[in-house]
Chains A and B, each alone.
Chain A
Amino acid sequence: MALTRNDSAPLFSPDTANTLRLIVYLALAIGLMVSDHRNGWLTRVRYAASVAIEPMYRLASLPSQLARDAGDAVADRTRLNARNAELERELLLAQARLNRLQTVREQNERLQQLLDAQRSLDVGVQLARIIDVDTDPFRHRVVVDAGVRQGVAAGEAVLDAHGVMGQIVEVLPDTSTVMLITDPAHALPVKSERTGLRAIARGTGALDSLELQNVPISADIKPSDKLVTSGLGGHFPAGFPVGNVRAIRNDPSGMFAVATVAPSAALDRSGEVLILHDLPDPVGPPAAASAEGPPASGVQR
């Protein structure tokens, strides 16, 4: 037979799709994944590569930015006027509320001075804008345009006008990633404003609901109860609105109730968010006891 075995285009091209090579690369990838999971290499790599990543994010968010700007440009006059009037009304209301708060604050300061308290209630906040990029549709993360250079640090709470949005999980020089409270990996200590009942609100992976698991069946909780952060755990300051209880059902075991919660923050909207700089005083288990104490063996240092 004149058929050559070394045909330039064989049916199965063994030289390009070499099984051994595949196995090597697969092992390499798995090794990378495991070590990344353990040591968090990716964060460091991303920090080093931020020169390339950040422009890419901004470039990717350009179309939606342009669309929004174009929408602003062609929005008709009556709608803008209506919006303007509405905003003015809201501003007026907010102003009135602020004035009232101002007096309360002054009173509070006087009382604090009386009590000789050191802590002030001013919280350091920073405005940041959400950059429209989708990293992974099955995780709830957003990217905001403030990073290390703007003084953002991992673990800080992120709020919008209506409530808690999430917390910073990764910082790059000029951008950072926020994990939303609805991310399945997120849990947040809350308490009911009406009864003070404490619970943990977990993300469900759906953008419009949270879940309180393991609520005692006898607990006093009912639909439309308002939940606020409890401040326990030390990540979020106390008293910020988280959501409203939507429904309560029994969990499969029948031992506990599960409450579904509608988050108050507008998680599906992009725009401006507030980053809270001031981490609250850690409230949690007290620091480990120092080595001081009755000597166990009587030997002096």
Chain B
Amino acid sequence: MNRLRANDWLFWGSVFACYLLQLMPLPQALLPFKPWWLALVLVYWTLEAPEHVSLGRAFVLGLIGDVFVGDMLGEQALRLCIFCFILMRFRARLRFFPMWQQALAVLALLVNDRIVLLAERAAAGLGGAPPSYWLAPLVGALAWPWVFLLLDDARARLRARES
């Protein structure tokens, strides 16, 4: 019971950190490299502790992100739903992939998300994207092992402290 609560704290803490990181300023030149942190963290939770993630929760987290960013209500919610749906579908396989294959899978998921976003923008009449638009998924895939190690370590420590 207690462990579950500690895990909950970690989950919400990591999500909160994602929102902060998303809003955190970067120098102009680094902006296109900013990965979608929220998606990366949700990959971890879906793979390792799926009781924390459901489509409904992904929807709500996306909506909260939309309110912070102030772009268009439902934009991130839609992307996050699609992202988590594919992830849940392939969860059982992805879990046992070696790290580099997982990173490749994350890359594919993030590129797919970029395509979804492009479609959304086209529907909203915003038009094309610069080539740098496609850099963020790459950075996301590169960041994935570190996100995984960090969260896994934090969870292991919590477990060790409580048992």
Mark A residues whose CB is within 8 Å of B. Answer: 9-13, 16-18, 21-22, 25-26, 28-33, 36-37, 41-42, 45-46, 49, 53, 56-57, 59-61, 63-64, 132-139, 170, 177, 184-185, 205, 207, 268, 270
- By beta carbon, the residue of chain A nearest B59 is A25
Interchain CB contact under 8 A, B23 and A57: yes
Contact A16 B23 (CB under 8 A): no
Chain B CB within 10 A, most for which of A11, A31, A138, A170: A138
Is the Cβ of A28 less than 8 Å from the Cβ of B88? no
Asked whether, in the complex, the Cβ of A25 is within 8 Å of the Cβ of B67, the reply is: no
CB-CB < 8 A to A26: which residues of B?
78, 81-82
How far does the Cβ of A167 sit from chain B's closest Cβ, in whole Å? 16
Mark out the residues of chain B between 53 and 75 whose CB falls within 8 Å of any chain A CB in the assembled complex.
Answer: 54-56, 58-59, 62-63, 66-75
| B54, B70, B91, B93: most-surrounded residue (chain A CB, <10 A) | B70
Given A9-B92, A25-B56, A26-B78, A53-B72 contact (CB < 8 Å): no
B130 CB–A CB distance under 8 Å: yes
Chain A positions within 8 Å of B25 at CB level: 60-61, 63-64, 132-134, 270
Between-chain CB contacts (< 8 Å), 7 pairs = A11-B93, A22-B82, A29-B75, A29-B81, A33-B124, A45-B67, A49-B67
Judge whether B154 is part of the interface by a CB distance below 8 angstroms.
Answer: no
Residue from A12, A29, A133, A207 in contact with B23 in the complex, judged by beta carbons closer than 8 Å: A133
Contacts of B120 in A (CB 8 A): 33
- Contact between B92 and A13 (Cβ–Cβ < 8 Å)? yes
In the complex, A15 Cα to B30 Cα: how many Å?
40
Distance of A20 Cα from B105 Cα, bound (Å): 24
**Looking across the interface, which residue of chain B has its beta carbon closest to that of A33?**
B74
Find out whether the CB atom of A30 lies under 8 angstroms from the CB atom of B92.
Answer: no
From residue A72, how far is it (CB to closest CB) to chain B in Å? 17
Across the interface, which residues of A come within 8 angstroms of B107, CB to CB?
Answer: none
Q: Are A25 and B55 in contact (CB under 8 A)?
A: yes
Residues of A within 8 A of B73 (CB): 32-33, 36, 41-42, 45
- Contact check, B72 vs A22: say whether CB atoms are below 8 A apart: no
- CB-based closest 9 A-B pairs: A32-B74, A17-B88, A29-B78, A60-B23, A132-B25, A36-B73, A137-B31, A33-B74, A29-B74
> In the assembly, what is the distance between CA of A25 and CA of B88, in Å?
15
CB distance from A44 to the nearest CB of B (A): 10
User: In the complex, are the beta carbons of B92 and A135 less than 8 A apart?
Assistant: no
Q: Which of B32, B62, B92 has a CB less than 8 Å from the CB of A11? A: B92
Contact B28 A268 (CB under 8 A): yes
Please measure, in the bound complex, the distance between the C-alpha atom of A46 and the C-alpha atom of B70, giving whole angstroms: 7
Q: How far is the CA of A36 from the CA of B73 in the complex (A)?
A: 6
Q: Which residues of B contact A57 (CB under 8 A)?
A: 23
Evaluate contact between B81 and A17: CB separation under 8 angstroms. Answer: no
How near does chain B come to A83, taking the closest CB pair, in angstroms? Answer: 21
Additional A-B contacts beyond A22-B85, A42-B72, A135-B69 (20; CB < 8 A): A11-B92, A13-B91, A16-B50, A16-B54, A21-B56, A29-B81, A32-B63, A32-B77, A36-B72, A45-B73, A46-B70, A49-B67, A56-B23, A56-B68, A60-B25, A134-B22, A138-B133, A139-B71, A268-B28, A270-B25
Output the least CB separation between A202 and chain B (Å): 13
Flag if A17 contacts B20 (CB, 8 Å): no
Cβ of B77 and Cβ of A42 under 8 Å apart?
A: no
In the assembled complex, how far is the CB of residue B109 from the closest CB belonging to chain A, in whole angstroms? 14
Which B residue's beta carbon lies closest to that of A59?
B20
By the criterion CB–CB under 8 Å, are A12 and B78 in contact?
Answer: no
* A33 engages B75 (CB within 8 Å): yes
Tell whether, in the assembled complex, residue B32 and residue A137 are in contact, meaning their CB atoms are under 8 Å apart: yes
Contact indicator A134/B92 (Cβ below 8 Å): no
Q: Complex: how many Å from CA A164 to CA B142? A: 40
Q: Quote the shortest CB–CB distance from A138 to chain B (angstroms).
A: 7
In the bound assembly, the distance between CA atoms of A29 and B71 in angstroms comes to 14
Q: Which residues of B contact A21 (CB under 8 A)?
A: 55-56
What chain A residues lie within 8 Å of B82 (beta carbons)?
A: 22, 26
Taking the complex as formed, is B1 at the interface, i.e. its CB lies under 8 A from any CB of chain A?
no
